Amino acid sequence: MTDPVSHPPALLRFVDAVMLPVPNLEDGLGFYRDKLHHELIWRNDAIGQAGLRLPESDTELVLSTNLGAAVNWLVASVADALNTIVAAGGTIVAEPTNIPVGKVAVGADPFGNQLVLVELSKGRYSTDASGQVVAVEPENAG
C-alpha cells in the first residue's frame, strides 16, 4: 500500500452566491421572494443588493441592480487566490476591491472563464427584523 499524496486544500471553497441582475430590488423581490417563495435573508439598498435563501444550501441567491449574472466563489483569501490562479496560468480580470463583508476580485482561468472571488474577512451581514442590513458582524461574534 502506498502513502496517500498530500495536496494543499482546494482553492474554491464553495459557491457563496449566484448573482442575478434585476432592474430594481422591489421587482426582483416581487418575483423571487413573493412568487418563487425564497426567503429574504438580507437587503442592502445602499449597494442595490438583496440576498435570498436557497433552502437546501448555504449558497445565496443575490439580486443586484448594478452587477451582471455571476457565480461568486468563497475563498479564504482573495489575494492568495489570485496569486494561485496567475501561477496556474490564469489572469486577473479585476483587482481586489473592498466590499462591506470583506473583499472581492475577479480572476480568469486559461479558458476565459471568469471566477468572482469573495473573501468574508470582515464577517457577515447583521439585519433588523425586516431584513435590512444594519451592520457587519465578525464570524466569531456571538
Give the rounded percent of residues in the chain with a pLDDT score beyond 70: 95
**Mean model confidence pLDDT for the chain:** 91
Residue 46's pLDDT is what? Answer: 92
Q: Which three cell numbers stand for residue 10?
A: 482546494
pTM above 0.85?
A: no
Residues written for the chain: 142
Residue 85's pLDDT is what? Answer: 97
What CATH number does the domain located at 14-137 have? 3.10.180.10
pLDDT, tens digit, 9 for 90 and up, residues 62-87: 999 999 999 999 999 999 999 999 99
Confidence at 3, pLDDT banded by 50, 70, 90: low
For residue 117, how many other CB atoms are within 10 A of its CB?
Answer: 26
Is residue 82 a contact partner of residue 117, using CB atoms and an 8 Å limit?
A: yes
User: What are the sequence ranges of the domains in the chain?
Assistant: 14-137
